[in-house]
Homo-oligomer: A and B are copies of this chain.
Amino acid sequence: MAQQTAYELFYWPGLPGRGEFVRLALEAAGAPYTDHARHPNGLAAMQALLDAANQSCPPFAPPFLRDGPLLIGQTAAILLHLGRRHGLAPAAEADRLWCHQIQLTIADLVTEAHDTHHPVSASLYYEEQKPEAARRAQDFRDNRMPKFLGWFERILAANPAGSSHLVDQAPSYADLSLFQAVEGLRYAFPHASARALRKAPHVAALAASVAGWPRIAAYLASPRRQPFNQNGIFRHYPELDA
């Protein structure tokens, strides 16, 4: 579907974070968008919308997307919207719901990956919660990451339309999000993710394939793509990997 005006994305500047899941969908769709996180006053613009007293649908937290009169928060809700408008989700209702279910499971994985370094509070520094982080990260490496990746492996292997996409035989926002989650896990937990991905070859193959989709390859090579860093959701602390 043609998009008349450019989307506007609001997110924290300086980190890929959850905003990156939205960027990947916008880039894969070839949709024009303004990324306020890359503008000098982007943080102020984002904060103004979060605080606007006369806003009837204020988002709870970034990222959020403006699409004309709509202001949409929650990454999975944004992708539900973009997926439908840009052919990044299946047309059939059952498949659309399955795609969303996968996305919500990726969102759970992302939250748990974040909480490895912030198990007590997002408003404290990592250095203020290191003992707790060590224990939570161990559980994540030993139990949770393998469980999540094992489930993605299983549904890719069981896809009746083949294992090159999560849903049916077409690219979807779930493919894009799984790619980004795998990239994040590789950055944060190089050792533990390598072990887990050896048992999830379809997941590793899908991630490699998404990186080669023409629009995504162009995006990844552009200055618009931000590297992972120690301010984001996925952070590399060697002591949390093993």
Interface residues, chain A, with chain B CB atoms under 8 Å away: 54-60, 69-70, 72-74, 76-77, 80-81, 94, 97-98, 100-101, 104-105, 108, 111, 115, 119-121, 123-124, 129, 132, 135-136, 139, 143, 148, 151, 154-155, 158-160
* Cβ contact within 8 Å between A58 and B119: no
A52 to B65, CA, bound (A): 39
* Cβ contact within 8 Å between B121 and A94: no
A115 to B123, CA, bound (A): 16
* Cβ contact within 8 Å between A123 and B143: yes
- 22 A-B pairs (CB sep. < 8 Å): A55-B158, A56-B158, A57-B155, A58-B151, A58-B155, A58-B158, A60-B105, A60-B148, A60-B151, A73-B105, A74-B101, A74-B104, A76-B104, A77-B97, A77-B100, A77-B104, A80-B97, A108-B111, A115-B115, A121-B136, A124-B139, A132-B132
Chain B contacts for A94, CB-based, 8 A? 69-70
